[in-house]
């Protein structure tokens, strides 16, 4: 996997590095459509046991493109959405594990194209890596790097908020990924702990940004503004709430929300009523004065405040955030993955216990899976071109 060798040189993956298999014939009888609804369950075709029956193996062949099953052995289901599913597979020849994200061609085409456009361009240790793509008239398959350590949100929910040393280690990796994306003119637009995956369960695991279905790639050097309303309510920036044309600064606001969650185990802005939530975001009204913040340094609080700056022009960029004194205060805490990383692990709780789960606000659970609904936002003053 590629890496950033220096701050000045960023390696961009070329089309030749990705194997794209397009417009494959429909497998089986061309007059008989595949009997799988968009985003439907894959449980019938996938099993993690060693006692897989011949019948289930036959179902695998019927359910998935044989070009995929010929190369990869299906091991289990990792997750499902309205028009996507993610399965765990193993390369039959190398035994290397991967994840395959499967899109329903009818319902998921737009999301697939958006994500593919981004992933074909990027190569960073802090961004999930695309390996190859298969496509037929019914489904699209993205073979991707497998992350087995769970999401950042999973870890926070299981262990509670973490100490500053680990927070710095995690946020450095997030910001390195964001800086790389912004250098390429890519804005993620849905940064949150659920979309940040640990490569493995260990304390020294790297963290990777994933899920680029809402991302936007700048077409030209001058096309810096966007206007599409999208993302997750608790993470969207004030300028988006106001329907204003916005820039990649919305990603840094989201990083500020993530930093707050990591250290406190709660959202900086939350209300069950979305209208009231958005009013809090517009005011930039959050508090770091309660007991939960008593042991957090002033530098850490300042770092968060400079990201949760209502004025996007005054908000820190990714480069400025990486240069902030708080992130530099632990010089030995590296953002480099694998054995080069100083072991973190200073989470306040080490296992999934009642105390660690109660340390995280119930709002974190309530906020998972929510999406922005434009109708819930204040009436727009004007509409710009959608990008």
List strand residue ranges (DSSP E) for the chain, in order.
Answer: 19-24, 72-80, 84-91, 97-104, 130-136, 139-145, 186-187, 196-198, 207-209, 216-217
| Tokens of residue 177, six digits | 């990924």
Q: Which of the following is catalytic: 190, 194, 251, 266?
A: 190
- Our measurement of the distance from residue 313's CA atom to the centroid of its chain's CA atoms, rounded to an integer in Å, reads 25
Q: Which residue has the tokens 């494959």?
A: 24
Between CA 126 and CA 186, with CA 168 as vertex, the angle to 5 degrees is: 35
Rounded CA-CA distance 230/140 in Å is 23
How far, in Å, CA of 288 to CA of 268, rounded?
Answer: 9
Under a CB-based contact definition with an 8 Å cutoff, are residues 379 and 241 in contact?
A: no
**Catalytic annotation present for 190:** yes
Q: Which residues are part of the catalytic machinery? A: 190
């Amino acid at each position: 996997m590629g890496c950033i060798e220096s701050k000045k040189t960023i390696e961009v993956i070329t089309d030749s590095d990705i194997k794209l298999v397009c417009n494959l014939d429909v497998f089986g009888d061309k007059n008989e459509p595949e009997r799988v609804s968009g985003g439907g369950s894959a449980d019938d075709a996938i099993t993690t046991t060693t006692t897989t029956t011949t019948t289930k193996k036959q179902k695998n062949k019927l359910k998935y493109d044989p070009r995929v099953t010929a190369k990869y052995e299906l091991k289990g289901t990792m997750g499902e959405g309205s028009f996507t599913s993610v399965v765990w597979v193993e390369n039959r020849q190398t035994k290397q594990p991967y994840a395959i994200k499967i899109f329903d061609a009818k319902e998921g085409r737009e999301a697939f194209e958006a994500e593919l456009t981004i992933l074909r361009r990027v190569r960073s240790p802090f961004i999930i890596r695309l390996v190859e793509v298969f496509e037929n008239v019914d489904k699209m398959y993205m073979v991707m790097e497998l992350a087995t350590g769970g999401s950042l949100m999973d870890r926070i929910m299981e262990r509670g908020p973490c100490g500053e040393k680990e927070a710095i280690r995690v946020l450095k990796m997030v910001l390195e990924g964001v800086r790389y994306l912004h250098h390429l003119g890519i804005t993620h637009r849905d940064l949150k702990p659920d979309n940040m995956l640990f490569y493995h369960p260990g304390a020294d695991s790297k963290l990777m940004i994933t899920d680029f279905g809402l991302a936007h790639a700048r077409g030209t050097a001058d096309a810096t503004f966007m206007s599409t309303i999208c993302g997750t309510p608790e993470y969207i920036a004030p300028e988006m709430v106001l329907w204003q044309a916005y820039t990649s600064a919305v990603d840094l606001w989201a990083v500020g929300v993530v930093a707050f969650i990591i250290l406190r185990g709660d959202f900086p802005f939350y209300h069950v009523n979305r209208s009231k939530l958005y009013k809090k975001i517009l005011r930039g009204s959050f508090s770091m004065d309660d007991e939960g913040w008593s042991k957090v340094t002033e530098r850490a609080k300042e770092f968060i405040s400079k990201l949760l700056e209502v004025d996007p022009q005054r908000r820190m960029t990714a480069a400025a955030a990486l240069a902030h004194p708080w992130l530099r205060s632990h010089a030995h805490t590296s953002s480099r993955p694998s054995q080069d990383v100083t072991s973190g692990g200073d989470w306040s709780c080490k296992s999934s216990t009642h105390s660690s789960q109660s340390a995280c606000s119930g709002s974190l659970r309530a906020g998972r899976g929510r999406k922005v609904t434009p109708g819930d936002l204040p009436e727009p003053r004007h509409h710009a071109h959608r990008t």
